[in-house]
Amino acid sequence: MHTLLLLAALGNQLTFDTRQQGNTYIIEPVATLTQDCQCMVKLTAQSSGTAGQSNSSQSQRVFIKGNEPTKLSRMSLELSPGDRVTIMVTVTDGKDIHLEKQWASPGSV
């Protein structure tokens, strides 16, 4: 039984598709799960730069079909030199599935 849970956990993935066009970054978190899931998705963004600091978050319930990559969001960020952005994505069903992944802009720590 524990082996099956371990294999299922290893098969679930959370990744970021990112593209850069000049100073603009397109960030799309993608979840691929081994089974269908009515999951809670939370996105948190923290930014700082010459214009100040900002924190924002949103959460929503999303149906993710098993074994199909599912885009969870699409963010477009225009970054100036010195800007720092960190995005954290959490996907959970409240029981067996709990994934977290962080994206940081180039130069972020």
C-alpha pair distances (Å), 60 with each of 8, 57, 91, 104: 23, 10, 10, 22
76 - beta bridge partners?
A: 26
Residues 6 or more apart from 50 whose CB is under 8 A from it? 80, 82, 83
Instruction: Return the CATH fold of 2-104.
Output: Immunoglobulin-like (2.60.40)
| Whole-structure pTM value | 0.84
Mean pLDDT per segment of 10 residues, for the chain of length 109 residues? Answer: 47 96 96 98 95 94 97 94 95 96 83
Q: Which amino acid is at 66?
A: G
User: Contact, 32 vs 67, CB < 8 A?
Assistant: yes
Give me the pLDDT at residue 109, please: 46
Q: Provide the pLDDT for residue 107.
A: 75
At residue 10, the pLDDT reads 62
Where residue 32 falls (left for φ over 0; alpha for ψ -120 to 50; beta otherwise) is: beta
